[in-house]
Amino acid sequence: MTVSELHRYTLSNGLRVVLAPDSTSPVVGVSVHYDVGFRSEPEGRTGFAHLFEHLMFQGSESLEKLAHFRHIQSSGGTFNGSTHPDYTDYFEVLPSAALERALFLEADRMRAPKLTEENLRNQIDVVKEEIRLNVLNRPYGGFPWILLPPVLFQTFPNAHNGYGGFEDLEQATVADCAAFFDTYYAPSNAVLTVAGDFTVAAAQELIEKHFGDVPSRPRPERPSFAEPPPAGEIRSDHEDRLAPLPAVALGYRIPDPIDELDAYINYLVLAGVLADGDGSRLQQRLVYGDQLVTDVGAGCGLFGPFEARDPDTFTITAMYSPEVDVDTILAAIDEEIDKLASTPPDAEELAKVTARWAATLHKEHDRLVSRTLALGAFELLYGDPALVYSLPERISAITPDAVSAAAKSLRADSRAVLTISPAPGAAE
């Protein structure tokens, strides 16, 4: 697949379209990205964006509940959706002969999902059960993606729990859902991506047939969620009755992933130098050398890289024995960061990290579902889906001095420190 094979255009109702033909296998991927995530949900309605994602699978004005499931599965396809800080995506992967079926289904629910009291109450219960399984009744549930933001950030969009609180979820109304749909689920606020085995002309004809008459609505103005970084080190502790060991997460603010992409990529490479693989700096120092922690990791984005606009987060997480003092761990981490800040990594160390990243990206984008979703997300966030194909080269071009400069910016006097403390008797 090459950049020249990407086709981009916009329908009269404002829907942006990305086409990426690839005839190597007889399958096709279809995704729709809406420019709304949990950072856009209003105060008092935490978890609403994710709840609405569930509602989009509950039928439409023309199809009964579970029809979407039945039509995709009977075609031999798979489907899903997910909610992120700044967007919500829906996708199908199915045999290429069923492309029109997927396009019809996505256009159908873009036009009019079935928003009823019955569907809403049912999905509130489903989401609450999901929270119980994934957060409340799981060791380290919400660590760090739910628990770290309120320590690192001050404003509601950046700091609140995107999964939602039970009280907020229970107070959601059908009127709230209708207003959310009317505001954010307009064609002009969405990107349709089709990748895989199809001809461009045939796909364009089908897209116009099914999406062309979806009513146009104004694209909502997207506010800036920018806020200043912490003016000092901010600490918080969370007691976890299920956690067998204490844990710590450090959160740092990093450059805008959209407007400062190359600077942002420096931190991806820095994360690899620090914690990716047994030979990484923090693995060698904290796990094998001083034996302060049992596990350590680092990365950009609470959901991974390239999934959010500014502000985004660089995290370092570790689990450790109760006999170890967390300040000893923090001091060791700071020492390793200071070493990188003063002495850039050598070419061999850096090459291992960038090669691993390039291989990971090539492997990931070889999967049709991952490629489809990446193209849609990059069109939505960056206005340039072709960036997907240039990322390995851009990462490989990062210099030792750039990694050193990124390390220098991870300051102890401008970060969040979240600790997880096992409740008494939790490890017994």
- Identify the sign of the CA torsion 340, 344, 346, 350: positive
Per residue in 152-177, pLDDT tens? 999 999 999 999 999 999 999 999 99
Give me the DSSP letters along 216-281: P-PPPPPPP---PPPSSEEEEEEEETT-SS-EEEEEEEE--TTTTHHHHHHHHHHHHHHHSSTTSH
Of 32, 1, 31, 320, give the one whose Cα is nearest residue 184: 32
Residues 6+ apart with CB under 8 A from 289: none
Q: Which residues contact 226 (CB under 8 A, 6 or more apart)?
A: 310, 311
Determine which of 32-41, 59-68, 129-138, 277-286 has the lowest per-residue pLDDT on average: 59-68
With CA atoms as reference, report the closest residue to 89 among 295, 377, 362. 377
Q: By three-state DSSP, how is residue 401 classified?
A: helix
Range list of H helices, 133-199:
149-152, 156-159, 166-170, 174-184
Q: What average pLDDT does the chain have? A: 95
DSSP 38: G
Tell how far CA 207 is from the center of its chain.
Answer: 27
Architecture (CATH level 2) of domain 233-344+399-422: 2-Layer Sandwich (3.30)
Tokens at residue 347, please? 């070419």
Residue 3 pLDDT class (50, 70, 90 cuts)? low
pLDDT digits (tens, 9 = 90+) for 113-147: 999 999 999 999 999 999 999 999 999 999 999 99
For the chain, percent of residues with pLDDT exceeding 70 = 98
347 backbone dihedrals φ, ψ, rounded to 5° = -60, -40
Handedness of CA 184, 187, 189, 190 (dihedral sign): positive
Tokens of 179: 């207003």
CATH homologous superfamily of 3-211: Metalloenzyme, LuxS/M16 peptidase-like (3.30.830.10)
Find residue 60's DSSP bridge partners.
Answer: 113
Predicted pLDDT of residue 2 = 55
In angstroms, the CA 191 to CA 70 distance is: 24
**Separation CA 82–CA 37 (nearest Å):** 10
Whole-angstrom distance, CA of residue 50 vs CA of residue 41: 10
Residue 428 has pLDDT above 50, yes or no: no
User: What is d(CA 64, CA 43) in angstroms, rounded to the nearest whole number?
Assistant: 32
How many contiguous H segments (helices) and E segments (strands) does the chain have?
A: 16, 11
Q: Where are the domains of the chain?
A: 3-211, 233-344+399-422
